[in-house]
Structure 1
Amino acid sequence: MARVVNFLKTIRNNWKKSLVGSAALAYGVNYSKDAYDTEQMMREFCVEAAKYGDIPIPPKVQPTHMTVILNPVAKKRKAKKLFEKYCEPLLHLAGIAITVIQTESESQARTLVANLNTRTDAIIVAGGDGTLSDVVTGLMRKCQSNVTYVKQCPIGVLPLGQVNRVADSLLKRKEDATDARALAEATMAIVRGNTRLLDTVEVSPIEKDPEDPVKPAYAVGAIEWGAWKDANSRVDKYWYWGSLRRYVTYVFNGRKDDLNWNCNGVIRYSDPCDGCSRCYQEQYSFSKTQAEKRWWHAFVPRINTAPRGSDNVDYSKVNNENCGIYKEVPIASTELHITTNNVLLNDEESEPGVKVELGPATVSYTDFIAEGCKRVGGKKSQGEHIIKAKNIELHPEKDDSFVSIINFHQLPKTMSFLI
């Protein structure tokens, strides 16, 4: 009893040291528990991956090979380390040979994929939504004349970026999931080989210049234009602020005139269409799309997935008089935000097309900072005006930035993703 009393007296007389020691002990216990849980999780996934790797390969089937496009500066320059720790071991255990190609500059993934000549069964994007858009753009440019190849080369997504809306939607990632679990689950989705078709969005100039042609860009998630987008692109400039750099970016840029505060112009758009004789042509397949068959499916059951709207409907007999009829709306906004149905985080069926959100016409300095801080936390205020559309023509006031944004809901413009 005397020892207990002396121990309590020591704590009381040295309460500052005791407080620091308690905090360090609590941190150590939590760290050890998280490390143990992660180890057990990886052990379970490794056992499952090894089952795929132990399946004999038929004599006439080549081993599975996948190409990884890795953005090493993603995830605060931890992307490569996280990939090698939580993703690469599972792929090797599953018997998948991989070739890792690291990007060295912004948008380089487009060129890497467009010039890819080696045989690959899939492309794995180890990065965020920006890297994913670059890979999709490169693949679509490479295979514009070969739609079948686009479907036969699915894309796997590893959520290693600052923004991972497409991956979160595809994999139904929980908000409280750790990075280790999210990466391991995404890797196992690639190993299992189930696929899902997603619509792509093409961005191309309205006026074509034969002498200086501009190749279209593609996306599967969202497209942003405006002040918040411009400010967010300058985050790396404030690297010396550490974890606060994303917040101070909006503080330091809220009054700068070089941000795009005026997203003014005219939008021409057509209403969404579920499918009719005008937008579905004879070459489109109306049968349910089957997930691509892998060699292990001869031994392991697979789950087939099909895109929304792939029912056996003869759209050549469906008449929609409003399909392709454009409406014209003038806009005056500080932001234009386009979101596809691919990044909806719920299971509710929604009509095909994209959602266009227009921000306020003017915004104060404090409101700009408040909205920026909200977006740092992964949230966004809903636009003041919302338009649902299929095809969009955007005519900004600036003559040098005419852009056509088209949502291709038709089957030949879809891409296969591993889920």
Structure 2
Amino acid sequence: MARHFRKHWKKYTFGSIVFTLGGSYLTRKFRDRNVIREYCEEAKQYGEKGISVLDRPKKVTVFLNPMANKMDAKIQFKKYAGPLFHLSGYDVTVVESEYEGQIRTLMGYIDPECDAIVVAGGDGTIMEVVNGLMRRWDVEKTRTIPIGILPLGRENRFYSRFFSSRLSLSQTRRISEAAMDIIRGATVPIHMLQLEPESGKTLFALSSIHWGVFRDSLQIKDRFKLFGKFRLLMSHVRTVLRGWPGDYSLRLWFPASSRSSSVGTMPPDSQVANSPNSTTSEALNQTAVGRRKIEPTRLVARRTEGWQERQLDVVGLHLCLEESASLEERLKTVVWPADLKKWDFIKQGWSASLGKNVPPVPGTLSVDSSQLVLHPQSGGVSWLNIDGEPYEAMPLSVTVLPSVIRVFTKQS
């Protein structure tokens, strides 16, 4: 036997690999089948409940992005979520988008009597639904329609933040559980970010804003697919090897009542207007020596007093919405200084991608507030990532809108 194996070791090796992969595939299919059967039996119980002849079945409108997750979203919806909705007795209308921005437009025609809106896609699909909903003329009525999230996109930032306990589940169970949340009917109010530019329409977001070299590193991570889980690490390494640290500057205004802190010593060219008695116009006249002047914007001109100002050379900004914090501190802003060391940049970016908390480096500015005005500027064209979607960098007034919409959540 040993002599035969030595003689035909290539065949034995190939056979072992095929047997192992095939067994793993069949095992996964068997487990998925059992998971689907389990959820179908639960959904069937809801569908067998009787209703009055005067009542109608619950109406659900599903906005599906068939191009999400490399055109795999439609297959996953029909395989895992669609059967559960039909078994539960829902009247389901599926709307498939054909181009970017279509869902935002179609949200203007949705029936106000709809019982639920389901987003089947990624962050871009969620953002289109939310902005279309908030721009309706009857928004006070339609925003009460609960929204369900099916994580069918490649990037599901809002779902990952809101349902962080489910990230360890398999894709089959994660999608099925999200569909069952909608069928079970438990909802919770969530907060929202209102982003008002100097010109153009107001934007609405649910998660975060990224700007600077950290954002740029995230955009190029797919160039390093061969490195697997280390592709984000390689994108940060590539960033520090080319064009570091970039030409970014930021002017930031926030209420004096906000909680702000700086680790170590702030750069000597930063300007701060901390006095509650000083007016905003006086604060805006202060400009760091030796830097290009960032002119005050229309967004700041409305502020009269009680606001602080910071002007800094930076490498990046991260702003996120924290649901569990108090209303005055739900807007978490972190600004990294321009003299950030390369190793600290790599460590901060890589650890953040793994979900680890990293102590801030010296010079980092942290602000917890309910609103702020930011004016980003760079040597060339720069971009903001708003809930994962790219927008050209522009002055923005950011405000937290508390408990604006309701989303389906797991039953307690």
- Please give the range of the TM-score, normalised by the shorter of the 2 chains: 0.7 to 0.9
Match of 2:12 in 1: 18
Task: Note the C-alpha offset of 1:252.
Answer: 6.6
Of the three residues 125, 149, 170, the one matched with 2:162 is 170
Of the three residues 346, 352, 370, the one matched with 1:390 is 370
Task: Note the alpha carbon deviations across 1:188-230, whole angstroms, 9 max, x for none.
Answer: 001111100001110002x4xxxxx522111111122223324
Task: Note the alpha carbon deviations across 1:357-410, whole angstroms, 9 max, x for none.
Answer: 112424577776676666665668565332111111113347x8221001123x
Match of 1:279 in 2: none
Distance 2:395 2:47 in 1: 51
Match of 1:29 in 2: 23
Distance 1:253 1:79 in 2: 32
Match of 1:99 in 2: 93
For structure 2, list consecutive stretches of 5 or more residues without a partner in the other structure.
260-304, 379-392
Q: Is the deviation greater in 68-77 or in 177-186?
A: 68-77
Residue identity opposite 1:395 in structure 2: H
Given that 1:235 and 1:245 are in contact with CA atoms closer than 8 Å, whether structure 2 keeps it comes out as no
Of the three residues 175, 180, 189, the one matched with 1:183 is 175
Task: Note the C-alpha offset of 1:187.
Answer: 0.5
Task: Note the C-alpha offset of 1:240.
Answer: 9.5
Alignment of 1:176-255 (within 5 A): 176-205=168-197, 207=198, 214-233=200-219, 247=232
TM-score normalized by the length of structure 1: 0.71
Task: Note the C-alpha offset of 1:257.
Answer: 6.4
1:60 and 2:54 matched = yes
Match of 2:325 in 1: 350
1:262 and 2:252 matched = no
Cα-Cα RMSD: 3.4
Closer, same or farther: CA 239–62 of 1 in aligned 2, 3 Å: farther
Given that 1:71 and 1:126 are in contact with CA atoms closer than 8 Å, whether structure 2 keeps it comes out as yes
Distance 1:385 1:129 in 2: 28
For structure 1, list consecutive stretches of 5 or more residues without a partner in the other structure.
1-5, 208-212, 274-323, 343-348
Distance 1:333 1:82 in 2: 42
Match of 2:38 in 1: 44
Match of 1:291 in 2: none
| SS in structure 1 at match of 2:143 | helix
Task: Note the C-alpha offset of 1:102.
Answer: 2.4
Task: Note the alpha carbon deviations across 1:37-70, whole angstroms, 9 max, x for none.
Answer: 1111110100000111111222222211111122
1:361 and 2:341 matched = no
Of the three residues 81, 94, 97, the one matched with 2:75 is 81
Match of 1:406 in 2: 399
Closer, same or farther: CA 128–242 of 1 in aligned 2, 3 Å: farther
Given that 2:148 and 2:407 are in contact with CA atoms closer than 8 Å, whether structure 1 keeps it comes out as yes
Match of 1:312 in 2: none
Match of 1:154 in 2: 146
Distance 1:124 1:233 in 2: 28
| SS in structure 1 at match of 2:61 | strand
Match of 2:131 in 1: 137
Distance 1:121 1:42 in 2: 25
Distance 2:173 2:347 in 1: 31
Task: Note the C-alpha offset of 1:9.
Answer: 3.4
Residue identity opposite 2:394 in structure 1: S
Distance 1:254 1:80 in 2: 39
Distance 2:397 2:345 in 1: 28
Task: Note the C-alpha offset of 1:355.
Answer: 0.6
| SS in structure 1 at match of 2:82 | helix
Determine which structure has the larger strand proportion and give its number.
2
Match of 1:332 in 2: 313
Residue identity opposite 2:68 in structure 1: A
TM-score normalized by the length of structure 2: 0.72
Alignment of 1:294-333 (within 5 A): 325-333=306-314
Distance 1:154 1:338 in 2: 26
Task: Note the alpha carbon deviations across 1:3-26, whole angstroms, 9 max, x for none.
Answer: xxx3x4322332232223222212
What is the aligned length? 345
Task: Note the alpha carbon deviations across 1:273-294, whole angstroms, 9 max, x for none.
Answer: 9xxxxxxxxxxxxxxxxxxxxx
Closer, same or farther: CA 136–107 of 1 in aligned 2, 3 Å: same
Residue identity opposite 2:146 in structure 1: P
Residue identity opposite 2:307 in structure 1: Y
Residue identity opposite 2:46 in structure 1: Y
Residue identity opposite 1:32 in structure 2: L
Distance 1:109 1:48 in 2: 31
Distance 2:77 2:18 in 1: 29
| SS in structure 2 at match of 1:197 | strand
Closer, same or farther: CA 266–172 of 1 in aligned 2, 3 Å: closer
Task: Note the C-alpha offset of 1:330.
Answer: 2.4
Closer, same or farther: CA 30–112 of 1 in aligned 2, 3 Å: same
Distance 2:246 2:49 in 1: 55
Distance 1:382 1:73 in 2: 39
Closer, same or farther: CA 350–142 of 1 in aligned 2, 3 Å: same
Task: Note the C-alpha offset of 1:156.
Answer: 0.3
Given that 2:370 and 2:400 are in contact with CA atoms closer than 8 Å, whether structure 1 keeps it comes out as yes
